[in-house]
Amino acid sequence: MSGLMRELAAGRRRLLMDRSSPGRVGATLPPPDVPEQELPPDSELREDLDFPEVTESELVRYLAQLSQFNFSIDHNFYPLGSCTMKYNPKLNDEVASLPGLAQIHPLQPDDQVQGALRLMYELQGYLTEITGLAGTSLAPMAGADAELAGMLMIRAYHHERGEAWRRNVLIPDSAHGTNPASAAMSGFDVVELPSDAHGDTDLEALRASVGDDLAGLMITLPSTLGLFDSNILEVVRTVHEAGGLVYGDGANLNALLGRVKFGDLGFDVVHSNLHKTFTQPHGGGGPGAGPVIAGPTLVDYLPEPVVVRRASSDESAAYSKGRPVKSIGRMGAFHGNFGALVRAYSYISTLGREGIIQVSEDAVINANYILSELRDCFDLPYDRSCMHEVVFSARSMNRDHHVSALDVSKRLIDYGIHPPTMYFPLIVEQALMIEPTETESKETLDSFVAVMKEIAREAREEPHLLHEAPHDTPNTRVDEARAARRPELRWRRREAAEQDQGGEG
């Protein structure tokens, strides 16, 4: 790159404040038609308050350039494991922006919003059927909010039975961090459960951990290793025999849709991340939704509101907001994230029963295709068929060529592909967690496989390409450690910032 081109590229990375020029304005104001007023005394005025001084066109170009630095599922393949970055059909957005759905207010009387309530009622029904449980509340705002709701329900259940001493919640060592956090916030003590050599729940450890103090188990199925726990029936039985209840983290429901029902496995309460399984822009792109779905034991404890239908009443007042008899109360002010609920409803209605089954089938086939194509390039810590995602390890690569999972991920950016999830689950060293989702074609998967094979070759022969990656982005390798150790959280004049950073090399 020539000096001039480098300079121009650096110019495009400048923040708005750095593009400021004293006296420049973006709008022309009319002359004042009121008398001028005295300013307060200098001592009450700040002089250090900076505003960007730019023209309108400079501002628009700045924002347009920023938007081009963005990456989303609409740009390219996004195999970010555990996040289910499937393509979000535009039809869902169109439906969600219909005025009858987008411009209603949560405080409107029920008889004015029967259509919206009916949509919620039917979505509750879809989710209840898909999970094979007894009832659904759409109230929680996201997965972790639903976990909290579910654990509070389990707590309320034990307390009502006079068994408040049940304080222990078992959580596998592969779980998302939100699980122990939700259990702790609900007042439980967390007991970590190890995985066995196959990645399943260690049954011996489970049996040793259950006792009179057991409140329940939180388990993700398939697990965060992308594996279907072959011990799951025995796990549920063991917990129930000890008087505990089973919470199912439905983060990976995409792998089970239409094929396995949590209710059939004996789960007592689960949640579904609608923004993942049932498509929404997510990952910095929009609000989530995390309905909580309960079996017969816990259905009366669901958070309110739950939309109910009165069969005998006239159609204009058939649907209303109800409160389950032992409800734990509200998780938020209103009905949950309604726009997200509309998108999920639109998605499920579009696919129908057959389509829903094909989702999980294609998601699992795509992940296993990647597993079989890349197993010679990367370590496979659990060598068995996976579900909707596959967890590789860059352990040998790191040992032999000093190339880490981070380096592989950064290099993928140069090839225009979003990196996979890395260093998670924590029990896999140098983890690379790849979730292709069902919406990718074989051509896209083949192209990704070719890129990963090329990166594996580079790791052996030209490792510096990986260590320095990414090369073709507005910012190249960022110093993550320094960003965490000495975060610069607000813009400051260059001289001030440099002065403070001086002497730190």
Partner 1 sequence: MNPADLRYSSEHEWARLLDDGSVEIGITEFAAESLGDVVYVELPPVGGGLTQFEKMGEIESVKAVSDLFTPVSGRVLEVNERASDSPEVVNEDPYGAGWLIRASLDDASGLDRLMTADQYQEFLDSQAA
Q: Which residues bind partner 1 (CB under 8 A)?
A: 423-424, 426, 429, 480-481, 484-485
**Closest Cα to residue 273, out of 156, 370, 142, 414?**
142
- Cα–Cα dist 360/414, whole Å: 30
Nearer to partner 1, 127 or 190 (CB): 190
Shortest Å distance, C-beta 16 to partner 1: 28
Question: 403: closest CA among 466, 451, 479?
Answer: 466
For 490, other C-beta atoms within 10 Å of its C-beta total 7
Long-range contacts of 5-10 (CB under 8 A, 24+ apart): 9/474
To partner 1, the closest distance from the beta carbon of 384 in angstroms equals 21
Q: Which of residues 31 and 505 has its CB atom nearest to partner 1 in the complex?
A: 505
Nearest approach, Cβ of residue 482 and partner 1 (Å): 9
CB of 252 to partner 1, least distance (A): 20
The least distance separating partner 1 from the CB of residue 405, rounded to whole angstroms, comes to: 9
Q: Closer to partner 1 at the Cβ: 380 or 427?
A: 427
Return the number of the residue (188 or 424) whose C-beta is nearest partner 1. Answer: 424
Query: Which CB, 443 or 480, lies closer to partner 1?
Result: 480
CB of 211 to partner 1, least distance (A): 21
Q: Which of 259, 276, 8, 258 is nearest to 146 (CA)?
A: 276
Residue closer to partner 1 (CB basis): 1 or 481: 481
DSSP annotation of 212: T
Note whether 174 and 195 are within 8 A (CB).
Answer: yes
Considering beta carbons, is residue 248 or 419 the nearer one to partner 1?
Answer: 419
Scanning 132-202, the segments in alpha helix (DSSP H) are 143-160, 178-185
Element (H, E) at 445: helix 442-461
CB of 480 to partner 1, least distance (A): 5
Q: What is the C-alpha separation between 32 and 412, in angstroms, rounded?
A: 56
Minimal distance, residue 410 CB to partner 1, in Å: 13
| CA distances (Å), origin 393, targets 202, 378, 390, 402 | 22, 6, 10, 13
124 in Cβ contact with 306 (< 8 Å): yes
Q: How far apart are CA 309 and CA 118, in angstroms?
A: 8
Q: For residues 96 and 346, is the Cβ–Cβ distance under 8 A?
A: yes
Residue nearer to partner 1 on the CB measure, 4 or 481: 481
